[in-house]
Amino acid sequence: MRRLAALLVVPLLLLTAACGGDGKGSDSASKNGFPAITAGAKFGEKPTLSKGQGDPPKELKTQVISEGDGAKLKNGDAIQVNYLGQAWDSTKPFDNSFDRKQPFDLTLGAGMVIKGWDQGLVGQKVGSRVELVIPPDLGYGAQGQGADIKPNATLVFVVDVLKATQIPTSAKGTAVAQDNVDLPKVGTNTDGKAPSVKIPEKTDPPKKLVSNYILESNGDVIKETDSVVVNYVGLLWKDGKTFDSTYAQGKTQTFPLAQVTLKGLKNGLIGKKIGSRVLLVIPPDQAFGDKAQQSIPAKSTLVFTVDLLAKM
């Protein structure tokens, strides 16, 4: 079972798929073994990095440029950052979020990004600017990534830690009656395990989007501009087969809703409350329509149970 997250959200950046960056760095000398920031040194400013001098380090190096006064980051935290990335032997950034004016959201330690990030950001404080020098074995290794990150490249990042939220293991709230016999029944367990989903047999799927609470919390209402940390199971109405599950992968997923391309998923979550569990039944015209996607046949009605764990 392959993850479908890349089909649900517009991909943003290098950490999962590299993209070209704008602007040029500086050839000024490195500082303390780290490429120097020659412009934009303050937290929140787009930095300019010098080229690394000499042979790059063979292990992960971390330097706090300016320390914030927020909580220390822990594995499992949902964090939001701005960043700029550049190869050690280059003066040109290969990617940055500053130009996009769109911070990047991830769950730390969940394998959503290269290992150098997961390891180098643990213990850093919210509000800090950190410089990371990442050796190839904690970056993209011998395969490299696209045209801008060569095989066995050492990578340099400047990362501003904007926010951090501790992620609960499960949705919690008041169980809502599931009275409609023509809709799937979803489990109400709160132990962090995947809830059961029973799709009614010999029943035609609804023609319109269904978005119902299973557990209703009293958290903040989700807006289209939010990024939402979720656990979910996705199934086919036709045969009840699971096509995707964050529980099976052992990691949450963060959806920046403004970039979610699956119309029914996006519309079904907007307006719901953080901390809740939601049943979504998405008809083909708000799912993938006439196009088959991996294990999802064309014209499929999709069923999701989604735990809305946190928002960024």
Residue 246 contacts residue 230 (beta carbons within 8 Å): yes
Which runs of E-coded beta strand occur in the chain? 37-39, 48-49, 61-66, 77-87, 93-96, 104-107, 129-134, 155-166, 174-175, 185-186, 197-198, 210-216, 227-236, 242-245, 253-256, 277-282, 302-311
Residue 15 has pLDDT above 60, yes or no: no
pLDDT exceeds 80 at position 307: yes
Which pLDDT tens digit goes with each residue over 43-67? 999 999 999 999 999 999 999 999 9
Rounded Cα–Cα distance for residues 130 and 187 (Å): 42
Q: Residue 97 corresponds to which tokens in the numbers above? A: 């979020």
145: confidence class by pLDDT, cuts 50, 70, 90: confident
| pLDDT at residue number 102 | 86
Length of the chain: 312
Does an H or E element contain 6, and which?
Answer: helix 5-8
Other beta carbons within 10 Å of 39: 13
Report the C-alpha dihedral over residues 96, 154, 108, 257, rounded to 10 degrees.
30
- Give me the amino acid identity at 262: L
**Hey, how many other C-beta atoms are within 10 angstroms of the C-beta on 141?**
15
Q: How far apart are alpha carbons 13 and 97 in whole angstroms?
A: 8
- Residue-wise pLDDT tens digits, 211-251: 999 999 999 999 999 989 999 999 999 999 999 999 998 88
| pLDDT tens per residue, range 72-101 | 999 989 899 999 999 999 999 999 999 999
pTM score, two decimals? 0.75
Look over the chain and give the mean of its residue pLDDT values, rounded to a whole number. Answer: 90
3-state secondary structure at position 129: strand
Residue 111: what pLDDT? 81
Mean local confidence (pLDDT), 186-195: 97
**How large is the average pLDDT for residues 281-309?**
96
